[in-house]
Structure 1
Amino acid sequence: MSKSKLRWLLERDQTLPLYRQIEQQLRQRISNGEWPVGTRLPSQRKLAEQLGVNRSTVTQAIDELASWGIIAGNKGGGTRVVNNTWNRLAANTINWDRYVESGAHQPNLPAIRQINEAEYRADIIRTGTGEPGPELLPTARIRHILADASDEPFLGYEEPKGNLRLRQQIVHYVAKQGIQCSPESILIVSGALQALQLIAIGLLQRPSSIVAEAPSYIQSVRVFQSAGIGVHRVAMDAQGIKMSHLRQQLTEHQPGLLYTIPTFHNPTGTIMSNERRAELLELSSSLSLPLIEDDVYRELWLDEEPPPPLKSQDRHGNILYLGSLSKMMSPGIRVGWIIAPVPVIDRLADIKMQTDYGSSGLSQYVATRWLADGHQAQHQAWLREQLQARRDRLLAALEYHFGDIGAWNVPAGGFYIWLRLPVTVHVHRLFKLALRERILIHPGYMYDRAAAHHIRLSYSYAEMGQLEHSIQRLRQLVKQCMDV
């Protein structure tokens, strides 16, 4: 059963005891089918944490349900629902756990599920979240666009490739980065993650594989693995992909494509050097190896403008280019794009129509106005100043609190600092200890199993005073883990 936060209201000023209120609400979810027979209940400790009560209170409620034969526990198997009525054993009910466990899409790693749930707790300090914080979002500009939208016909479905006006604006936008394309070679998607999903199911045979940098964002989502596509690791250094290792992996595995984030890499912040970019393009051309260039962080440069996109040098149609407004304008708008050869875009547009019948017309209208009215250029200049100041404050906090026990990169853009901890630190234990103190970290093993002594820090989301306090407390927790 999902361990998501229980959104139940306990009336603490009622005469009805808390354990009885909990029992009634548990029983209601069982009797109405939300928790069918066979469902495993959260642990008593977890229930107590989520409901904000003592564990003994939860124990009373559980014991009451057990006495009625509604739930039962067994050694090693936890407590499960065994009956959904008060007078009849439910012998022929559907075992939904079997269906859930049989689904084709792989579940997230446990740490990622915990992060996804904890991020929406009001008391949590989010030290690794990869999106702009609320105070960095252009709320007033978006409100103005929406207020001026009364006569726009955006409430119907859009055409398969997306709103034509938006695609035309993207043509002009990416031309400033050296990318030449037409609206026909652009597909509007609901964020870059959907672009990866479409590519995984629409362009690759099964069984097959891809190669990707290690560590990599792509290892923290199960897009390709769930589509039956293997993901092979390619080592990195300060200049980006190690070309010798890439050639070795290509020889051994003959993958279908390469996924790369060459500019402000997630999670390391690395910028691929011009020399490596040229080598990679030459290799792609000589081997006819398609590349996915994930370029969603490009406009977040802080010190100097990064090298041009790989796509700007693509004369053979080898690169599938991913862009997005999520990191700059709004993650909630969910507007991104793929730029690729027209036959590829036609194929992916057809699949997208089969899955969601097109991205939100309202979101596409907002994105069109955002680009057409010049908001992107104005906002990104301001946002860079804010992110640069935040980065420098986080670097100063790290130098003060981790200078003797850690190492890290100095990112020239993007959101992230890749912090390496002593090898004696068990990051899984650190994650749990920090979460108990309402500090949410992103452990490195989410991005690569070999990065077990790293954490990804972000200076884009948390309020800076809270983030600095978290760094101070994290040092204490790291030292505590080192002493074990």
Structure 2
Amino acid sequence: MLQIDWKPQKSSTLPLHLQITTYMKKKIMNGEWTIGTKIPSQRALAQQFEVNRSTIVTALEELAADGLIESKVGSGTSVVNNTWSLLASTPPPDWTSYVRSGIHEPNIQLIQKINEAEADPTIIRLGTGELSPDLLPHEQMKQFLQMEVGETISLGYEEPKGSLALRETISQYLKRKGIEAGPASILIVSGALQALQLISVGLLKRGSVIFHETPSYLNSIHVFQSAGMKLFGIPLDHEGIQHDSIGRLKRQHQASLLYTIPSFHNPTGTLMSENRRQQLLDICKKEALPIIEDDVYGELWLDTPPAKPIKANDTQGNVLYMGSVSKSLSPGVRIGWIVGPEPVIDRLADIKMQTDYGSSSLSQYVVNQWIKSGGYEEYLDQIRAELKVRRDFAITILNTYFSKIATWTIPSGGFYIWLRLQPEISIRKLFDRALQEGILLNPGSVYDKNNLEHLRLSYAYASLEEIEKGLIRLAELIIELNSL
């Protein structure tokens, strides 16, 4: 979808339709809107430019007369010419066809719309899975960036597995979680998403089947799908992923691995019990089914610490463990880690060197300073306290305004409340109505295409005032849509 961040000047002496024609022609002539680019509908353009539809019609007619756009019944209006084809004897590349033929699957339209809306600072973001800018450690970060006299920092590439100093620090840090892993068994990555990308291209073949909880974060990204993998969902209960059928399903579908978020699951907030973690590890060992354990929310417990990671009881190298500071310290630092058997880590490190030649040296330095100094633990205590206040506040609002229209479980950590709506209303209509009023939601269909009754609410990003205002209006919208 075209991004248009311009409006005609109504105070100008130049007619509105000429301003619009000039703007659009410039976009086409500069090659920003290439051949095949779809032009929004007349109605959409009229709304965007805040003019009458007749003004848009006149502007489009002039562009068509210049041979720059063409309208076809049933397929709308698109760019058919630009400066390259006007000046050259051969036509320019049709970049639209290249875009369509790329091997990486595009985000579903709903996710693209969410991503666009998140760039609007006026939007109340009730589904965003990251810490509020107000909670980020701006002042502490400045202190960690101030180096001591005589101290140096690498500004070049780190070794393939990442900064040795950081890997040594993480090795010690993981011992508190019961995980024994030397620096050679740790790979520094640019967040958990890159870890999944490396696994998808470095360890798996096209057509491999990936087991995961359903609903799942994996459905909101296309890392495995773009690499030719197939996702297979296994239901959750209050203790976590239901393990009883894994053995039978593994043999039936020839699954290659299982992906799980045992601590404060995204999107449901479920905390896998200690017993279920052991059962899952046992069945996967028996079936020789490797586990990817995504523990990016594990430090964000609000009531009591969760059970030890599944990796802590892994004595056979069956588990690839992923951690990150993106959810707890800063999404902009982009540092995470994979822990696993050395041959696997060596393979993934080689793939990473081929893709980006290593994560940011500066970010690795900062994260090492945070963890090694003990400042990270102190900061986590503060964040847990802040998130608990926000969670409790959100639950109070839900108890007051949603008791007759929705059900939910109080999460014991993480960012999310998995809200199930009682009225049979269209979640997509609710999403659109809410967005029109400046409230951004994350529908359940983002995490399971068949889920038409849930919303993923986040209490981590919006301010308390925004949470109150947004949730109260959301309740009103649900009631309004249910009465139609």
Band the TM-score falls in, shorter-chain normalisation:
over 0.9
Alignment of 1:378-393 (within 5 A): 378-393=378-393
TM-score (norm 2): 0.95
Distance 2:464 2:470 in 1: 10
Distance 1:137 1:46 in 2: 38
Task: For residue 386 of structure 1, report the CA deviation from its aligned partner.
Answer: 0.6
Task: For residue 78 of structure 1, report the CA deviation from its aligned partner.
Answer: 1.7
Distance 2:50 2:155 in 1: 42
| Residue aligned with 2:154, SS | coil
2:62 maps to which residue?
Answer: 64
Residue type of the alignment partner of 2:180: Q
Residue type of the alignment partner of 2:216: S
Query: Aligned pair 1:138/2:137, yes or no?
Result: yes
Residue type of the alignment partner of 1:83: N
- Which digits, 9 at most, give the CA deviation of each residue in 1:75-120, with x for residues without a partner? 2212101222597898733222211111110011111011111101
Alignment of 1:202-281 (within 5 A): 202-281=202-281
Distance 1:87 1:251 in 2: 60
Distance 2:66 2:425 in 1: 46
- Which digits, 9 at most, give the CA deviation of each residue in 1:327-375, with x for residues without a partner? 1110001000000100000000000000011111111111111111211
- Which digits, 9 at most, give the CA deviation of each residue in 1:382-436, with x for residues without a partner? 1111100100111111111111010111000000000001351111111111111
* Distance of aligned partners of 1:78 and 1:386 in 2 relative to their CA distance in 1, 3 Å threshold: same
Query: Aligned pair 1:317/2:311, yes or no?
Result: no
Task: For residue 7 of structure 1, report the CA deviation from its aligned partner.
Answer: 3.3
Distance 1:401 1:60 in 2: 49
Query: Aligned pair 1:23/2:18, yes or no?
Result: no
Conserved 8 A contact 2:246-2:283: no
1:73 maps to which residue?
Answer: 71
1:415 maps to which residue?
Answer: 415
* Distance of aligned partners of 1:49 and 1:203 in 2 relative to their CA distance in 1, 3 Å threshold: farther
Residue type of the alignment partner of 1:303: D
Distance 1:16 1:175 in 2: 69
2:296 maps to which residue?
Answer: 296
Distance 1:72 1:92 in 2: 16
Query: Aligned pair 1:190/2:190, yes or no?
Result: yes
Task: For residue 60 of structure 1, report the CA deviation from its aligned partner.
Answer: 4.0
Q: How many residues align?
A: 482
* Distance of aligned partners of 1:426 and 1:359 in 2 relative to their CA distance in 1, 3 Å threshold: same
1:34 maps to which residue?
Answer: 32
Residue type of the alignment partner of 1:239: E
| Residue aligned with 1:424, SS | coil
Task: For residue 58 of structure 1, report the CA deviation from its aligned partner.
Answer: 4.0
2:433 maps to which residue?
Answer: 433
Alignment of 1:59-208 (within 5 A): 59-85=57-83, 92-148=91-147, 151-208=151-208
Identity score, percent = 49
Alignment of 1:278-357 (within 5 A): 278-357=278-357
Conserved 8 A contact 1:127-1:462: yes
Task: For residue 208 of structure 1, report the CA deviation from its aligned partner.
Answer: 1.3
Higher alpha-carbon deviation: 197-206 or 30-39: 30-39
Conserved 8 A contact 1:167-1:188: yes
Higher alpha-carbon deviation: 181-190 or 12-21: 12-21
* Distance of aligned partners of 1:405 and 1:65 in 2 relative to their CA distance in 1, 3 Å threshold: same
* Distance of aligned partners of 1:291 and 1:431 in 2 relative to their CA distance in 1, 3 Å threshold: same
Higher alpha-carbon deviation: 94-103 or 333-342: 94-103
Residue type of the alignment partner of 1:153: I
Give RMSD over aligned pairs.
2.0
| Residue aligned with 1:235, SS | strand
Task: For residue 51 of structure 1, report the CA deviation from its aligned partner.
Answer: 4.9
Conserved 8 A contact 2:209-2:230: yes
Distance 1:470 1:244 in 2: 40
Distance 2:345 2:22 in 1: 53
Distance 2:34 2:8 in 1: 23
* Distance of aligned partners of 1:87 and 1:206 in 2 relative to their CA distance in 1, 3 Å threshold: closer
* Distance of aligned partners of 1:190 and 1:57 in 2 relative to their CA distance in 1, 3 Å threshold: farther
Conserved 8 A contact 1:234-1:249: no
Distance 2:184 2:42 in 1: 56
Distance 1:463 1:59 in 2: 43
Query: Aligned pair 1:443/2:434, yes or no?
Result: no
Task: For residue 68 of structure 1, report the CA deviation from its aligned partner.
Answer: 2.5
Conserved 8 A contact 2:153-2:365: no
Residue type of the alignment partner of 2:95: W
Conserved 8 A contact 2:179-2:312: yes
1:404 maps to which residue?
Answer: 404
TM-score (norm 1): 0.95
Higher alpha-carbon deviation: 141-150 or 188-197: 141-150
| Residue aligned with 2:39, SS | coil
Task: For residue 451 of structure 1, report the CA deviation from its aligned partner.
Answer: 1.8
Structure 2's unaligned 5+ residue stretches are none
| Residue aligned with 2:98, SS | helix
Distance 1:88 1:367 in 2: 52
